[in-house]
Amino acid sequence: MADNARMLNRVRSLLGDFGTEFRDVLTGVGELDEYDLSETNAIVTKAVKLQDGRATDLVPGTDYTVMSREGRIVFRNGIGILPVGAIVIVEGRTKGVFDDEELLTMHLHDAVLQHCSDRVITVRYRSKEGFYRYEDEPLGLDNLPEIEELPLATLAAINALWAATTDASWEPDIHTAEGTHVSRAQVYTQLLTQIENLETRYRELCQQLNVGLYRIEQSTLRRVNRYNNRLVPLYTSREYDDSAYPTRQLPPIDKRNEDPSGIPSPVISGLTG
């Protein structure tokens, strides 16, 4: 059984996106109440103000506010503008390119929906009446087999890299009068190459384990009754000792050429117009 913390570690390992620790020393100049931190996507874990030989722990939300994405700290209320000689020591860590919430609620969530689409785990049990019963549980992160954690994490990493690729595609190349050339398109090309490599790995894992988006699916062809042109009903295959009622299958029907008029057809031709 997979959990969010372990899957996040797997995805970050594939992305190489672990974040870093930082420690900034901010010196008051008597004019500013906002300071840029050395890192963006920052999480501040501790802030201490040193003034007149005294150390005061600052309270987040009361004494300061952190603009995480921009990497900026804003002092509020009694702190306000840092006076000359005052020092604030800020410690924290960066979230990396992707924060945990983004990976969990977007990229990993989408990967679970794609990888586990239309898959169930059949559980066999004995009912209170003494009969054998079979119950299908939809496959998800809670009951995912351990061997499928790597393919799922790979798919989540692919989804995350596509988001980073879209962001990199907006960056133009830089050319200066001094002859300096910075190719921003190289980042975009490298991301596409990494996505291609991960997609190849995901495809191979799915084909070897017969899971995920590249698994082989088995289906049953539907027959049509030649007397009334109606589809013959299908029932889910079951074990010989399953005493439950048959389960009816309702496969989707292609309706591309359906009559859009909404006029009901007669039961017997020729009786109505």
Query: Please, how many CA atoms are within 13 Å of residue 138, restricted to the half-sphere of its CB?
Result: 9
Residue 36's DSSP bridge partners are 72
Q: Tell me, what's the pLDDT at 135?
A: 85
Q: Give the chain's end-to-end CA distance (angstroms, integer).
A: 62
The one-letter amino acid at 140:
G
Q: Tell me, what's the pLDDT at 268?
A: 63
Report how far residue 106's alpha carbon sits from residue 112's, in angstroms, rounded to the nearest whole number.
Answer: 10
Q: Tell me, what's the pLDDT at 273?
A: 45
The one-letter amino acid at 172:
P
CB-CB contact of 140 with 152 (8 Å): no
Report how far residue 140's alpha carbon sits from residue 121's, in angstroms, rounded to the nearest whole number.
Answer: 10
Q: How many helices (H) and strands (E) does the chain have?
A: 5, 13
Which pair of structure tokens corresponds to residue 229?
Answer: 């042109």
Q: Tell me, what's the pLDDT at 191?
A: 92
User: Could you tell me which of 152, 166, 167 has the C-alpha nearest to residue 110?
Assistant: 152
Q: Tell me, what's the pLDDT at 160?
A: 94
Report how far residue 160's alpha carbon sits from residue 163's, in angstroms, rounded to the nearest whole number.
Answer: 5
Which pair of structure tokens corresponds to residue 78?
Answer: 């009694």
Q: What is the mean pLDDT of each run of 10 residues along the chain (273 residues)?
A: 84 88 88 86 88 86 86 82 87 85 91 92 85 86 92 96 88 78 83 95 96 88 86 87 85 78 70 49
